[in-house]
Amino acid sequence: MARDYWPRPLLHFAPPQGFMNDPNGLVYHRGRYHLFYQHNPYAPVWGHMSWGHAVGHGLLDWEDRPVALPEQPDYMVFSGSAVVDRDNTAGFGADALVAVYTAHYRDDREAQGLAYSLDGGERWTFYEGNPVLVDGERPHVRDPQVFWYEPGGYWVMAVARADDRQVAFYASDDLKRWELLSTFGPAGCWREAPHWECPALLELPVDGSDRTHWLLKVDVDGGAPTGGSGAQYFTGYFDGVRFVPDDPSETVRWVEAGPDFYAAQAFNHMPDGRRVWLGWMNNWRYANALPTYPWRGMLTIPRALSMVEVEGRHHLVQRPCRECYARMQPVEAPQTGRSFPLPEAGLLRLRMRTGGPWHVRFFTGTTPGVVVGYDAENRRLFLDRRAAGRTDFSPDFPGRFEALLPPEVPEELDLEILFDRYSLEVFAPQARLVLSALVFPAPGDCAAVIHDEGGTIREALLCGYADASASAG
Reading phi first (left if > 0) and then psi (alpha if -120 to 50, else beta), residue 32 is in: beta
Residue from 290, 279, 271 nearest 254 by CA: 279
Is 197 designated active site?
yes
Q: Which of 71, 85, 110, 197 is catalytic?
A: 197
Question: 76: helix, coil or strand?
Answer: strand
Q: Which of 22, 110, 260, 420 is catalytic?
A: 22
* H helix or E strand, kind and range, residue 325: helix 322-326
Question: 369: helix, coil or strand?
Answer: coil
Under 8 Å between Cβ of 43 and 51? no
For 311-357, strand residue ranges (E) read: 313-320, 328-332, 340-341, 346-353
Is 128 designated active site?
no
For 140-195, strand residue ranges (E) read: 141-149, 154-161, 166-172, 179-184
- Separation between Cα atoms, residue 370 and residue 358, nearest integer Å: 14
- Separation between Cα atoms, residue 346 and residue 421, nearest integer Å: 10
Whole-number Cα distances in Å, 196 to 102, 151, 167: 14, 28, 8
Q: Where does residue 288 rank: exposed (0-12), middle (13-18), buried (19+ CB within 10 A)?
A: middle
Active-site residues, by number, are 22, 197
